Homo-oligomer: A and B are copies of this chain.
Amino acid sequence: MDNGKSDDVFLSILDSAKNRFCRYGLKKTTMTEIARDIGLSKASLYYYFPNKEELFKEVVKEVYRTLLNEFEGLLSSSVPAEDLLHGYLEKRLIYFREFVHLSALSLESINSLKPVYARLFENFRKKEIRLVGEILAKGIAAQDFQNLDVAYFSDLFIAIFQGLRHNVIVKKDTVNITETEYSLLRKQYESAFNMFMKGIKK
């Protein structure tokens, strides 16, 4: 590792933390639990991470990084822009189901979420927008899409689907998604996607 610390331990901490944070959220996960998971003492965690918040941020970043990498992977393939967008949505949906707790965290902000996390999410959102923007630009270059305002439409695209996701979380008291809700969301994604396509295709 960069700073000369064991990769193995570092990664196993990150892994246990990811599992717990994703299942129970930030507050309901303790450092002691994470430590126990990997058979270390709590003090050891502090050898690798300065504090809980940094560990959490690292987990979120890691999850985002993975997702963004998958997105990038999509982008490099030479399929039509429409399929890229569709592929992006598919991955976004799967990610949503797996990491609802991280997504729901952005909703906690209503009460009082640390601006630190707000910035994390905002960062990710910006990268998503840029990515969608690239896809849109690709579609325009290939004469598939109209010559539209890329910045605005990628923002709108993200907003529509984020909104649909919010609807799912908001009406619930617990952050657990049933199969029914998930498949309805997927259907809405599909319809909204088709409309969006009709709206921007040549």
Binding site for B on A (CB under 8 A): 104, 106-113, 118, 152-153, 156, 159-160, 162-167, 169-173, 188, 191-192, 194-196, 198-200
Residues in B whose Cβ lies below 8 Å from that of A162: 163, 167
The 8 Å CB contact of A170, one of B109, B171, B194, B200, is B109
Given pairs A160-B192, A162-B167, 12 additional interface contacts (CB within 8 A): A108-B110, A109-B173, A110-B170, A111-B173, A156-B191, A159-B167, A159-B188, A160-B188, A163-B166, A166-B170, A191-B199, A195-B195
Residues in B whose Cβ lies below 8 Å from that of A111: 111, 173
Chain B residue at smallest Cβ distance from A166: B166
A35 CB to closest chain B CB, in angstroms?
A: 30
Chain B residue at smallest Cβ distance from A106: B170
- Cβ–Cβ contact A110 & B166, under 8 A: no
The 8 Å CB contact of A110, one of B156, B165, B167, B173, is B173
Interchain CA distance A160-B192 in the complex, whole Å: 8
Residues in B whose Cβ lies below 8 Å from that of A164: 159-160, 163
**8 pairs, A vs B, C-beta closer than 8 Å:** A106-B170, A107-B107, A111-B173, A112-B173, A156-B188, A162-B167, A166-B166, A194-B199
A18 CB to closest chain B CB, in angstroms?
A: 23
Interchain CA distance A131-B57 in the complex, whole Å: 45
Interchain CA distance A106-B172 in the complex, whole Å: 10
Top 6 A-B residue pairs of the complex, sorted by shortest distance between their CB atoms: A163-B163, A195-B199, A166-B166, A198-B198, A195-B195, A163-B164
Interchain CA distance A106-B111 in the complex, whole Å: 14
